[in-house]
């Protein structure tokens, strides 16, 4: 069965469909030595090799892999950095025939759970708003938090061109100026958690992501370390975005 080339390449970990489409438009991708056009379809077994960014790749897939990484403060989520800062990709295990794709991002001052996979379709679905994937964070803030301010954050605030809000806000023994909350939301916009608090005059001084969908950050996992998920865990993640996982993929 023929499939669009951006779907095939995404599934094998060459990036998101959107990024692959951009590279196709810039003529950066060739299949079997020939340039491809947007929307072109192929039979998987007809693809002998792929030229991408002046490198040759052969579609000999790894098994499906997902890891949870506990990102420390100070690391960035880019593959390379012109300022020679440490990136999260420096800490990941080597893959033989595909690439790690980060599912969502965390800014340099945010720590906690990052998911990585080598299966592009899974990454695409986990990041797409259609699948309503909940993210949870622990937040330490400074300032006076009234009940009225909490209601504003849950009701919604216009940030940019859209409305942002927390699904839930839970307080933790807050008797001091620095207060801890657990918050959850369904979107992953850039700096959204910090911007929501800033919009009511409250400064965030610590932010930790503790869950992404069904994946949760283990309490024993130290910053800068990762765990590889087993088949049962992977099955749960696939099921959460309506994907089927076959035994040959594990």
State the residue for tokens 């797409």: 128
Enter the tokens of residue 217. Answer: 């950050």
Sequence-separated (6 or more) residues with CB below 8 Å from residue 185: 134, 135, 164, 165, 166, 167, 192, 193
Asked if 168 is an active-site residue, the reply is no
Residue 33, sorted as left (phi over 0), alpha (psi -120 to 50) or beta, turns out to be left
d(CA 250, CA 234): 9
Contact 125, 243 (CB under 8 A): yes
Q: How far is it, in rounded angstroms, from Cα 7 to Cα 121?
A: 7
CA 37 to chain centre: 27
Is 28 in contact with 9 (CB distance < 8 Å)?
A: no
H/E stretch holding 160 reads none
- Choose the catalytic residue: 46, 53, 107, 168: 107
| Positions marked catalytic | 107
């Amino acid at each position: 069965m023929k499939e669009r080339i951006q779907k095939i390449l995404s599934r094998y970990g060459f990036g998101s469909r959107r990024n692959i489409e951009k590279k196709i438009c810039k003529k950066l991708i060739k299949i079997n030595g020939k340039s491809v056009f947007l929307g072109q379809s192929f039979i998987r077994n007809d693809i002998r090799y792929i030229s991408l960014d002046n490198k040759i790749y052969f579609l000999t897939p790894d098994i499906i892999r997902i890891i949870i990484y506990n990102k420390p403060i100070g690391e960035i989520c880019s593959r390379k950095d012109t300022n020679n800062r440490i990136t999260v990709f420096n800490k990941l295990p080597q893959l033989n025939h595909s690439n790690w794709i980060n599912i969502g991002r965390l800014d340099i001052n945010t720590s906690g759970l990052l998911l990585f996979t080598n299966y592009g379709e899974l990454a695409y679905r986990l990041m797409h708003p259609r699948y309503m994937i909940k993210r949870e964070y622990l937040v330490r803030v400074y300032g006076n938090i009234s009940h009225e301010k909490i209601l504003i954050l849950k009701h919604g605030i216009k940030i940019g061109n859209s409305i942002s809000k927390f699904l839930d806000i839970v307080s933790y023994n807050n008797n001091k100026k620095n207060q801890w909350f657990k918050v959850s939301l369904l979107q992953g916009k850039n700096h959204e958690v910090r911007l929501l608090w800033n919009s009511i005059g409250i400064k965030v001084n610590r932010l930790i992501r503790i869950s992404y969908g069904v994946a949760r950050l283990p309490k024993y996992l130290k910053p800068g370390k990762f765990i590889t998920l087993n088949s049962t865990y992977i099955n749960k993640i696939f099921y959460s975005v309506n994907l089927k996982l076959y035994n040959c993929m594990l």
